[in-house]
Structure 1
């Protein structure tokens, strides 16, 4: 019987198949990634090379460059002031008791303007008066004591003189008797000692009385000087009391006096002024301190009232400004037709102060966007763009800027503030 066949396993037909290595798999994946990145890189490069879109402007302000004369001028606002005026400052402290003049009144020198009341000054005046009276009474007492002392000294001196004369006579008599042998030597010596003592007392009394008199005179003189000082102080107080009634120091028109009865004032308070309108008027203006080195006396100025001349510059800087005084040019009133009406204090006037002579130049209107980098219009009127351009600017005056390079007449420029530093801006 044949042997049964073994089941087929297929082992003889199998062979080992080796897969790709790890390096080969990594290279294959890198190649696929590179193929995918090629279009991405190309798209990014193309997008980066596209021209930037121009930024739109909202309500731009444009100005045209024009050829004209550059006027190196300053636009000022001047105020009229009289050439001669006197400030009215309060000389004393007090309360306003009466107002005797009003703002705008014409007054003469010495006219009462107002009167103050000062209870403190009245009390001080009474106190100083009492001190003067007391010191004068003390001086009188000292002079009375001096007179009594002089009288007592004279009586004492007379008695000492009499005693000295009596001692001298006794010594002479004893000397004569001693010479004839009627008086002993002891008696003569006693008489001589009595004479010397009387003479010494007389001399000492005279010296003491003279020293006492000098001391009293010096004391009384010092007291008298003190009384004089007190009297001068009392006179000064009386004069200050008189100054409570303020009078006009000169003739003119009162300006700025706005006192009210019952108001309190202190020494130095500015109460108003008196203007001498007959002396003429001048114009006062404020100029930025930047122009201070260029402000020279004699500069010309234009105004609606005619030509003016810079008369004086006050160099005190306050708030970044200096004050200048302008006056009418000589002969201006004669050539003006019709003549300008008389100016009133406080009147305002527009003035163009000329710093140098006019010169031909390219001019551009002033604005916040007028900087060394400007945006210049290019293209048609509709949908045009502004190109950023570097220029060179010069002087600025009266709302005009001098263009030195980078622009030409007819160019239209953005003078308002640009929204950014983009190379191009698009007009609406």
Structure 2
């Protein structure tokens, strides 16, 4: 044994290292085996977090729960309408100017033709005076022209009288000399002179008569044209003088004066409205309607108003489609058999019917629609409520029409969803 040990001891260290094989452990496989379970576990948690429905615990007393039911659905809207006179007329300034006098007050009952206010415009009045003077001068000139034509006719008549006298003298001399010539008392030379003079006077008379006839015809045409021009000028003068009276604003009809608030000294342009006159013979309702209903509101549609505890029928008489601030105007008339004791300015809630009653699946209105726009809702199942896609149709102040996603008898949460937008399940607790 000692010999063996001795042999071992005497072996060089280099030889020992060269002849011995050292085995090293593979740590890479060990790390891989540890990483796989960790990765799978992390993936499970991520998948669970993604696929798990988000829930929220709420008190059942804090939400409003309604039941989906089949009921008669009537498409109607509620309008707030004001009573206005059936007929009215705007009071416009015809001639612009500043208010000089005010004779009545807003709300007064006025009669047709009654003075309401007086305006003053010195430039316009001066223009009227100038125009009036010019028209009168033109009328006088036409009168003078007409008088000249008549004087011309008179002078021609005087000439005709003188010519006719000369013709008669020549004719008388002709008749006398003809007898004397036949009795051979008058010479042939004198007879020839008499014949020539008679021929001249006769032709002269005929020419003058034809000239006077043509002159009269021409004068008649000129006088007719002058008379027409004078008629137009007299009409213009009447209009001008009437316009001068337009500085005085009068009532165009009998009725109650409203929105009449002129200010002394304030300038008003021509055509500007300073008030309105309401004809106190019948009333109508005027309501503003959201532009959403523009295509659904038409003339003839019926409605109801509550008047002293009774339902009074009304109907749409006119739709004014002009949209202002997202709303348009609708006029309604009363269909009551008896006369109603109405007063301008009263307000009524009008129930305007857009379609007839029909039984269908309906859901009570609620604030949930503000956040969901009618696309989804929480459906109650025991102590939970789960989010579900739905489809809603028409609506009225009471119900939504259900077109899909819900069944009769199911209960849903209809209160506000401001805190539930990202939630899929509500857990109710007491």
* TM-score > 0.5, shorter chain as reference: yes
CA distance in 2, matches of 1:30, 1:190: 169
Instruction: Name the residue aligned to 1:400.
Output: 399
Instruction: Name the residue aligned to 2:390.
Output: 391
**Equivalent residues of 1:95, 1:117 under 8 A apart:** yes
Instruction: Name the residue aligned to 2:330.
Output: 323
Q: 1:176 to 1:32 in 2, by over 3 A?
A: farther
SS at match of 1:83: strand
* TM-score, structure 2 as length reference: 0.74
CA distance in 2, matches of 1:89, 1:421: 61
User: Unaligned regions of 5+ residues in structure 2, if any?
Assistant: 1-11
**Equivalent residues of 1:70, 1:363 under 8 A apart:** no
Q: 1:177 to 1:33 in 2, by over 3 A?
A: farther
User: Unaligned regions of 5+ residues in structure 1, if any?
Assistant: 1-7, 18-27, 334-341
Choose which of 255, 259, 262 in structure 2 pairs with 1:256.
259
Choose which of 250, 258, 278 in structure 2 pairs with 1:247.
250
**Equivalent residues of 1:299, 1:310 under 8 A apart:** yes
Instruction: Name the residue aligned to 2:364.
Output: 364
Instruction: Name the residue aligned to 1:375.
Output: 378
**Equivalent residues of 1:76, 1:287 under 8 A apart:** yes
Cα drift, residue 137 of structure 1:
2.3
SS at match of 1:311: strand
Choose which of 262, 269, 272 in structure 2 pairs with 1:269.
272
Cα drift, residue 274 of structure 1:
2.9
**Equivalent residues of 1:297, 1:310 under 8 A apart:** no
SS at match of 2:411: coil
Choose which of 47, 50, 54 in structure 2 pairs with 1:49.
47
Pick which of 173-182 and 240-249 moved more: 173-182
SS at match of 2:238: helix
Instruction: Name the residue aligned to 2:108.
Output: 105
Aligned residue pairs total 394
Cα drift, residue 317 of structure 1:
0.5
Instruction: Name the residue aligned to 2:6.
Output: none
Cα drift, residue 100 of structure 1:
0.8
Paired residues for 1:12-411 under 5 Å? 38-39=36-37, 42-43=40-41, 45-50=43-48, 51-52=51-52, 54=54, 62-66=63-67, 67=69, 70-168=73-171, 173=177, 177=181, 180=184, 183=187, 192-277=195-280, 279-288=281-290, 290=293, 292-293=295-296, 295=298, 297=300, 299-303=302-306, 305=308, 306-319=310-323, 320-327=327-334, 329-330=336-337, 342-355=341-354, 356-357=356-357, 359=359, 361-366=361-366, 367-368=369-370, 369-377=372-380, 380=383, 387-398=386-397, 400-405=399-404, 406-407=406-407, 408-411=409-412
CA distance in 1, matches of 2:58, 2:134: 85
Query: Over aligned residue pairs, what C-alpha RMSD do you find?
Result: 4.3
Structure 1 segments (4+ residues) deviating >6 Å: 28-34, 55-61, 425-428
Cα drift, residue 101 of structure 1:
0.8
Q: 1:198 to 1:48 in 2, by over 3 A?
A: same
Q: 1:200 to 1:299 in 2, by over 3 A?
A: same
* TM-score, structure 1 as length reference: 0.74
Cα drift, residue 314 of structure 1:
1.1
Cα drift, residue 33 of structure 1:
9.3
Cα drift, residue 198 of structure 1:
2.9
